Structure 1
Amino acid sequence: MADKRRTNGQSRSGTLNFKVEEAGELLPFLLQKLENRSRNSVKSILTRGQVKIDDHIETKHNYPLKAGQTVSVLKNKVAVKESTLIGMTILYEDDSVIVINKDAGLLTIATEKEKRQTALHQLMEHVRRQNPLNRIFVVHRLDKETSGVMMFAKSEKVKRKLQDNWKDMVKERTYVALVEGYVTQSEGTIKSWLRESKTHKMYSIQDRDGQLAITRFRRVKANKQFSLVEVQLETGRKNQIRVHMSDLGHPVVGDKKYGAKTNEIGRLGLHAKILSFEHPITGQLLLFRADVPKSFLNKVK
């Protein structure tokens, strides 16, 4: 006899709908329901933001499902129309700020070649769904190939307050870098003045005729090929970590621009792990963390 509680089926738009009948994790549920697709194909559907749980898009493989929920698999075009956040997840949001975990490969702001697929554009669409007058403002940036925690402001006033008081309000900015070779120093501080060349490459000088850059580092784990280094910024200059790791003789993995010879993880080996700051309105101390990518950890086992 057919189970009347099951509402599995395909809508007119091509969306597949599945009713959750018992608790479990999202990826195994999808693998069971989409048995004609490969595991990699199902993972790609998740990554592209094509999976909806009731009324929200979900990309986490281990998202806990509850009985009674509806899981929808959207066509790619439908997912784009849903204005899904692709390449990032929101860690925190209130009336003043949004904090995200950005994936490697996602631009912070638009370039001549890419206007829409950026963190700023997607977040702008996200807040305007609540109110068309809402806006998002860039406070600081991460390079396209750097992943991790970053923050945006929801008003010009908040943006200005954060930028004008950055040194006082930001209590911790910790990165992890996967670098080439064995870093012999267990910890240290790199200090130089940075300049930018005509080809937009940053480089260190020692005559103070540039922007002061101070980087503190600590070796976390290492083998002969690679080292995982925790980095804390005392200043926030363009490409600072990348330049200083190269100066140390251990360029960041995948960073050909600054001397890397390897790209074994298929991305830049730089990740913003912790951002801690005083809330610009309430003054409350907030701390956000993004887990170190597994590809980094696998190289220093």
Structure 2
Amino acid sequence: MDKRYQLQFTVNKESQILREAIAIWGISKRTLTAIKFNGGNLLVNGEEKNVRHPLQIGDVVTIIFPPEEVSGGLMPEYGPLPIVYEDEAVLVVDKPAYMSTIPSREHPTGSVANFLCGYFKQQGIASTVHIVTRLDRDTSGLMVIAKHRHIHHLMSEQQKKGLVHREYEALVEGVIKQQLQSIIAPIGRKETSIIEREVREDGQFAHTDVKVLANGDNISHVRLKLHTGRTHQIRVHMASIGHPLVGDELYGGSRKLLDRQALHCRFVQFQHPLTGQILQFESAFPNEFSKLL
């Protein structure tokens, strides 16, 4: 059985050659080159054709992508992977806190990527791991994953156009009196650290909307909408206005109440890369946060 990733389209436009149709369907020139030279195939009505082949309305085009090889440093593991949604193109998982997105020197095992690699192996999916929306190790909540390199490319194009929407909920230190505000401040790497970021004039444009949901005893429960996806964006922006996340020691928060930053990806929305359908998912607010309120 051929386990290479495949897409199939029916031609509905006259006077096209195969190359033109492939471009309309979102296949990049780089991917087309890989299909031609790295073990893929282009079939029209079940027969292999080249990119100059003229198409007729009703022709069925099958694009067989080259096999993907898993990185040598990514070992398959078999464990908890809370899948919220899955189809032939994408996965949405509800990541628990203290699980890394990808393995690192400090945490080489037990990551989302390790468990995905094992899951793909069990399911016979000939793909490596393609993370669309990444979360910090201590941040919990929803993550979007593409099941193939081409799907990742399509999702990345959506992200560039601002079509992948994420909203977070967090507990921050202090009482925020302004119920709605937008933080628009550029973020860059701090010169004295390889990890820490800061608001700085030469940083990348970053925009976060903040809505106060409730105020507790020197704690505010906020909902945050990301318009950009900079590293540590929420953590840096909230610290910059004097309200670091509860538990976020890196950016000035205290761990007296919680031993991780109180940040949870509550909502994601995106357009399905193949069908165009708008998909929305929501994750429950963590009980450990609720108890602090």
Q: For the structure 1 residues 173 and 103, does the alpha-carbon distance in structure 2 shift closer, same or farther, using more than 3 Å as the test?
A: same
Structure 2 CA distance for aligned equivalents of residues 129 and 119 of structure 1:
15
2:156 aligned with 1:163: yes
| Alignment of structure 1 residues 144-223 onto 2, 5 Å | 144-168=137-161, 170-197=163-190, 198-199=192-193, 200-205=195-200, 207=201, 209-223=202-216
Out of 56, 78, 83, the position equivalent to 1:83 is 78
Deviation at 1:93, TM superposition (A): 0.7
* Offset, 1:138: 1.6
Q: Which residue of structure 1 lines up, in the alignment, with residue 243 of structure 2?
A: 250
- In 1, are the aligned partners of 2:77 and 2:110 still within 8 Å (CA)? no
Taking the TM superposition and a 5 Å limit, the aligned residue runs for 1:83-162 are: 83-85=78-80, 88-131=81-124, 133-162=126-155
Shift, 1:130, TM fit: 1.8
Q: Which is worse superposed, 125-134 or 220-229?
A: 125-134
TM-score (norm 1): 0.68
* SS of the residue 2:235 aligns to: helix
Q: Is the 8 A contact 1:169 1:277 kept in 2?
A: no
CA gap of 1:132–1:162, structure 2 versus 1, over 3 A, is closer
Conserved 8 A contact 2:140-2:263? yes
Q: Confirm or deny: 8 A CA contact 2:94 2:140 kept in the other structure.
A: yes
Q: Secondary structure at the match of 2:253?
A: coil
List per-residue Cα deviations over 1:210-257 (Å, max 9, x = no partner): 200101000001123211000001111000000111011110011011
- Counterpart of 1:274? 267
Q: Please list the CA deviations of residues 189-228 of structure 1 after superposition, one character each: whole Å capped at 9, or x if unmatched.
A: 01111110241210002x3x22001010000011232110
CA separation of 1:214/1:201 partners in 2, compared to 1, >3 Å: closer, same or farther?
A: same
Q: Which amino acid aligns with 1:232?
A: K
Deviation per residue, 1:31-64 (Å, 9 max, x gap): xxxxxxxxxxxxxxxxxxxxxxxxxxxxxxxxxx
Q: Which moved more, 1:263-272 or 1:125-134?
A: 125-134
The root-mean-square deviation of aligned C-alpha atoms, in Å, is 1.7
Could you tell me which runs of 5 or more consecutive residues in structure 1 were left unpaired when the two chains were aligned: 1-80
Q: 1:60-102 CA deviation, whole Å, 9 max, x = no partner?
A: xxxxxxxxxxxxxxxxxxxxx99222xx410001111110000
**Counterpart contact for 1:186–1:218, Cα < 8 Å:** yes
1:171–1:153 CA distance, 2 compared to 1 (3 A): closer
CA distance in 1, matches of 2:179, 2:162: 29
Shift of 1:132: 5.9
Q: Which amino acid aligns with 1:297?
A: S
Rounded Cα–Cα distance in structure 2 between residues aligned with 1:130 and 1:139: 20
Seen in structure 2, the aligned counterparts of structure 1 residues 82 and 148 have a Cα distance that, compared at 3 Å, is closer
Q: Deviations over 1:172-196 (max 9, x none)?
A: 2110011111111111001111110
Contact 1:228–1:296 (CA under 8 A) maintained in structure 2: no
| 1:121-162 superposed Cα distances (whole Å, 9 cap, x missing partner) | 101110111216333212221000000000111100011111
Rounded Cα–Cα distance in structure 2 between residues aligned with 1:183 and 1:289: 25
Q: How far apart, in 1, do the equivalents of 2:160 and 2:237 lie?
A: 20
| Counterpart position of 1:230 | 223
Residue number in structure 2 paired with 1:296:
289
**CA deviation vs aligned residue, 1:240-295 (integer Å, no higher than 9, x gap):** 00011101111001101100124413321000000000001111100011111112
Cα distance in structure 2, aligned partners of 1:149 and 1:126: 18
| C-alpha separation in 1, matches of 2:229 and 2:124 | 33
Letter of the 1:125 counterpart = G
SS of the aligned residue for 1:227 comes to strand
The count of aligned residue pairs is: 216
1:169, distance to aligned residue in structure 2 (A): 6.2
2:258 corresponds in structure 1 to: 265
Q: Distance in 2 between matches of 1:220 and 1:116?
A: 36
Kept in 1, the 8 Å contact 2:100–2:112? The answer is yes
- TM-score, structure 2 normalization: 0.70
Identify which range, 161-170 or 246-255, moves more after superposition: 161-170
Give 3-state SS (helix, strand or coil) of 2:185's partner. strand
Question: Is the Cα contact below 8 Å between 2:88 and 2:147 reproduced in 1?
Answer: yes
1:239 to 232, 242, 251: 232
